[in-house]
Amino acid sequence: MKSVIDNLSKRRKMMFTILIAISLIAITVHNIFDIPITSYFGQDNNIYIVYGLISYKLLELGILYIIFYRRHLHRLLQEEHTNELLEKFEKNGKRFFMLVPHGSTIFGIISYKLTANIYIFLLFMLIATVTLFIVKPQHPQK
């Protein structure tokens, strides 16, 4: 169990680094290039789409946490340690720590393209960072 928690902690730290790198790259690209706002939906509707993406992301992170991380951790702590449960927890923990930055980056890029506002992109990066900060792989307390 200790090695799984340590591996998930390393992955979590790596995802923090990746989020910071993506944010710095985004700020650099924003300052160098002039990226126009898309007009697919009309500029009046773009901000409503961005609000929908933000709401969806917050809801999705809660569901991802419950399905991929918390449920398997809770089951692992309640039952006897079996290799199958430990493998499922590790797989789903890795999946959770990968999906949080990935999804936030994609939604941030979409929102940036809809609004050309770097702060919206950085908001998605902040949401991912806060989520990773809150979800800490910890050794079970017994």
pLDDT of residue 122: 96
Q: Is 80 exceeded by the pLDDT of residue 103?
A: yes
Q: What is the pLDDT of residues 107-138, one digit of tens each?
A: 999 999 999 899 999 999 999 999 889 888 77
Angle between helices 118-134 and 2-32 (to 10 degrees): 170
Dist. CA 113–CA 97, nearest whole Å: 25
Across the range 89-97, mean pLDDT stands at 82
| The token pair that represents 25 in the structure block | 């790259």
Distance, CA of 52 to CA of 140 (rounded, Å) = 37
Q: What is the mean pLDDT of residues 3-21?
A: 90
Provide the residue type at 41 as one letter: F
Confidence at 63, pLDDT banded by 50, 70, 90? confident
Residue 26 token pair: 């985004």
Burial of 99 (0-12, 13-18, 19+ CB in 10 A): middle
Q: How far apart are CA 13 and CA 27, in angstroms?
A: 21
CA 25 to CA 121: how far, in whole Å?
11
Report which of residues 77 and 14 the model is more confident about. Answer: 14
Question: Is 70 exceeded by the pLDDT of residue 28?
Answer: yes
pTM score, whole prediction: 0.83
